[in-house]
Structure 1
Amino acid sequence: MNVGLGLPIGDPSVLLGWARKADAGPFSTVALLDRLVYDNPEPLVTLAMVAGATRRIRVQTEVLLAPLRQPALMAKQVATLDRLSGDRLTLGIGLGARRDDYRAAGIDTHRRGARLDEVMTHMRRVWSGEPYGEDIGPIGPAPARRGGPEILFGGFTPPAIQRIARFGDGLLCASPIDDMDGLFRATEQAWRAADRAGRPRLVAQLNAALGPDRTVDDARGRIRRYYSGAEYTELPADYPDLVVRRMLTTPGEIRAAVDRVTDIGADEIIFYCWSTDTGQVDRFADALS
């Protein structure tokens, strides 16, 4: 089982140290979330720095809010990062659920699914090397992998699952662990129905923090602040409380989660860390050894 870590967003100055420690450890991926109306670092810029500071570990957006971005420029940025990182980029893409992000970008939330499909069509065209449009030439550079980097879609709804079969390489599943089995099987079914070769990648994501009480309390406070005070498109009002309660905080819970997602067919699990304490990296490595 491949295990990755989500980078904390609370202090950008610690991110390169985090990434270097993860790169030296047993971890497969470091990931970074995306918001617009928040004080998180922009993920494509930050992961470019992370890729340059590491040797082997993959870098992943988790998830990039693609409907907020202009597709031609985003495709160029993604291809550049993919190429310069040596084919180490996984592009996690999703819609997001906060209305303020869409208002700030001037995008209609009611069209966000349709816009994501349009964005994917445009980016795939760019990465194919074809002209971008009538009287518009190709947009380079070419990505490291023909056709574009690995793409995982985050989401829980039938349209999100169908989007994986149309445009993606797999599912990035941040649901409660009890719901993952059904979402994994739905993804496989949609993949087969679309007559896709091989099988989709199935990646689980769970929030976690390891360490003394002050580290865990810090993580709980940060994740509560992150999910509070926003107007959501579809999440329940008590969602911040649910997220805090579901956070994994002991080595036993980490090992049990790895066992459970392995049993239901996950290829990788990402433990998203919320405290900036870099000592968590060693604690996760110890919990997994």
Structure 2
Amino acid sequence: MTKVGLGLPLDDIDALLTWAQHADAGPFSTLALADRIVYHNPEPLITLAAIAGATSRIRVQTEILLAPARETVLLAKQAATLDRISGGRFTLGMGVGIRPDDFEVTGFDHATRAARFDEQLATMRDIWSGDRIGPRTKGPELLFGAFRPAALRRAARFGDGVISAAPPDFTDHIYRSFEKFWNDNDRTGEPRLVAQVNTALESTKDEAARNICSYYGDYGPTVVERLVTTETHIRDAIQTFTDLGADEVILYCWSPNPTQIPYLADIIS
């Protein structure tokens, strides 16, 4: 059966532990948190560490972390620490990012971020398999936000799965391409396939739309058009991505109103 997680809202940091504790008591599998540098969102690794400490069951996940905008060794140490302190409940979802301002403020080159990401992944794997930099861990589960062939090849080489926030038809292309690259790399086992669906109750739709447009900028109206807001549409979205092979669907909530939690819980129960 497909698991269903929640994407945490970004615009009310004071509400996040309440969200986490209610979600931990319900049927949800994962709490995911997006990343930006030049934005008012909370830093995801620190926030998810606090959430891991306030919960006992639910997994925590970055979705997705801008790895090339961060120093590699420290990122590896932070991820290993969160993996250990959460009792193995941490999934590190990563991608290269697209916004130049997130790189300008951290001093890393936006133009070479993909090559830097390849180097980072090799370095982090070395750190997690060695004894010099702890805490000791095999490393967290790695998921990648990817849709271009080069990114999907990278994900199949280094990762455990892929996250898609695209519409179903393009998600199908992403999943099938990733599975091919997975097999081309002689990977064993089955890769994890995760989908993100932007969600809001009808009563929170306007607030969610404003927050989406704030986060995505010019691309925001397109994302708002795909926002699912009714029980029927939410169920249909989960089933659609399940039919494409998704192991987990993350219902990403863009309004901080916590009344969405029991409503969504009832839908998926």
TM-score with structure 1 setting the length: 0.91
Alignment match, 2:154: 163
- Counterpart Cα distance in 2 of 1:286 and 1:188: 33
The reply to whether residue 252 of structure 1 matches residue 232 of structure 2 is yes
- Counterpart Cα distance in 1 of 2:229 and 2:258: 15
User: Once the two structures are superposed, what CA deviation does each residue of 1:85-130 show, in whole Å capped at 9, x if it has no partner?
Assistant: 0000000001111111011111111111001011111111110015
**SS of residue matched to 1:55:** coil
- 1:287 deviates by 1.7
Say if 1:25 and 1:285, in contact at 8 Å, map to a contact too.
Answer: yes
**SS of residue matched to 1:153:** strand
Alignment match, 1:122: 123
Alignment match, 2:194: 203
Alignment of 1:273-288 (within 5 A): 273-288=253-268
Alignment match, 2:134: 140
- 1:245 deviates by 0.7
The reply to whether residue 226 of structure 1 matches residue 215 of structure 2 is yes
User: Once the two structures are superposed, what CA deviation does each residue of 1:233-256 show, in whole Å capped at 9, x if it has no partner?
Assistant: xxxxx5221011111111111100
- 1:177 deviates by 2.1
Unaligned residue ranges in structure 2 (runs of 5+)? none
Counterpart residue type for residue 112 of structure 2: R
**SS of residue matched to 1:38:** coil
- 1:51 deviates by 0.1
Counterpart residue type for residue 140 of structure 1: G
Alignment match, 1:19: 20
**SS of residue matched to 1:227:** helix
Say if 2:36 and 2:102, in contact at 8 Å, map to a contact too.
Answer: yes
- 1:184 deviates by 0.4
- Counterpart Cα distance in 1 of 2:111 and 2:28: 38
Counterpart residue type for residue 212 of structure 2: I
How many residues are matched? Answer: 268
- 1:211 deviates by 4.4
Alignment match, 1:217: 206
Alignment match, 1:233: none
Alignment match, 2:11: 10
Aligned-residue RMSD, C-alpha = 0.9
Distance 1:285-1:211 versus aligned 2 partners, 3 A rule = farther
**SS of residue matched to 2:174:** helix
- 1:202 deviates by 0.3
Say if 2:213 and 2:219, in contact at 8 Å, map to a contact too.
Answer: no
- Counterpart Cα distance in 2 of 1:266 and 1:71: 30
**SS of residue matched to 1:276:** coil
Counterpart residue type for residue 267 of structure 1: D
- Counterpart Cα distance in 2 of 1:110 and 1:249: 37
The reply to whether residue 263 of structure 1 matches residue 263 of structure 2 is no
Query: Runs of 4+ in structure 1 displaced over 3 angstroms?
Result: none
User: Once the two structures are superposed, what CA deviation does each residue of 1:165-188 show, in whole Å capped at 9, x if it has no partner?
Assistant: 211000011112221111101010
Identity of aligned residues (%): 56
- Counterpart Cα distance in 2 of 1:177 and 1:25: 27
